[in-house]
Amino acid sequence: MISLPLKKMPMAVKCISMFEGALLDKLKSHARYFPRKEQAVLLCLHEIQDHYGYIPQESLKPLADLLDMPLNHVEQVVAFYDMFDRETPAKYRIRVCVSVVCHFLGKKRLIDALEKALKIRPGEVTPDGKFKIVPVQCLGACSCAPVFMVNEDTYVFESEEKLNEILSRYT
Ligand code: FES
C-alpha cells in the first residue's frame, strides 16, 4: 500500500494516484458505469476493502477525488455501513449479527463459542492475522438466526462443534 503525505498536500491537489493497476481500472470502470460518478461509491469501497482487506484512511481522499464528491460524504458512507472495516485487517472477517432476532436466538452463544475457539474478543484479530470478529447489524438472514459470515460465506450457528468445523475450512 502506498501511503501519501496527505497533510502536506494543498487542498486543491487530487491524489487519485494512490490507486494503481487493476484496482484503479476497476474503480474507474465503476465510476463510468453510473450516470453520476458518486453513485459508484459503495461498489468502489467494496473494491478497496477487497484489495487491502480493510478501508485505509489514506484511500478516502483519492476515492473522493475519483468520484468527484466531497471527502466528508465518503467518510459518512464508510461510517454508516458496518460492512466496511477501517481498522486492523484480517484474512477472514467473521461478521456476527447482533441485531434483535439473532440477539434473542443465540447471538451470545455464538460469540462465546467464537471467543473460545479463536481466543479473541469482538473487534480483535488473532495473532496470526487470520480471523477477526466483527459485530454487525442484520445480515438479512433473520429466519436462520443466529447467523454469521466468514468473508462472503453465510452460516447458521448450530453448535460449537459445527462452528469449529467451519472455521477449520479457512486456512
Ligand atoms: S437479525 Fe440477525 S440476520 Fe437479521
How confident is the model at residue 8, as a pLDDT?
40
Question: Taking a C-beta distance cutoff of 8 angstroms, is the pair 140, 131 a contact?
Answer: no
How confident is the model at residue 108, as a pLDDT?
96
| Least confidently predicted of 57-66, 82-91, 149-158 | 82-91
How confident is the model at residue 166, as a pLDDT?
97
- For residue 118, the surrounding DSSP H or E stretch is helix 107-118
For residues 94-116, one letter each, b for 16 or more C-beta atoms within 10 angstroms of the residue's C-beta and e for the rest, the string is bbbbbbebbeebbbeebbebbee
142 lines ligand 1 (CB under 6 A): yes
pTM of the entire predicted model: 0.70
Write the secondary structure of 59-83 as one string of H (helix), E (strand) and C (coil): HHHHHHHHCCCCHHHHHHHHHHCCC
For residues 6 and 83, the model is more confident at 83
Q: Ligand 1: distance of its center to the CA of 33 in Å?
A: 32
18 lines ligand 1 (CB under 6 A): no
149 lines ligand 1 (CB under 6 A): no
Name the band, by pLDDT with cuts 50, 70 and 90, for residue 16. Answer: low
Secondary structure class of 125 (helix, strand, coil): strand
In the block, cell 459445527 appears at 162
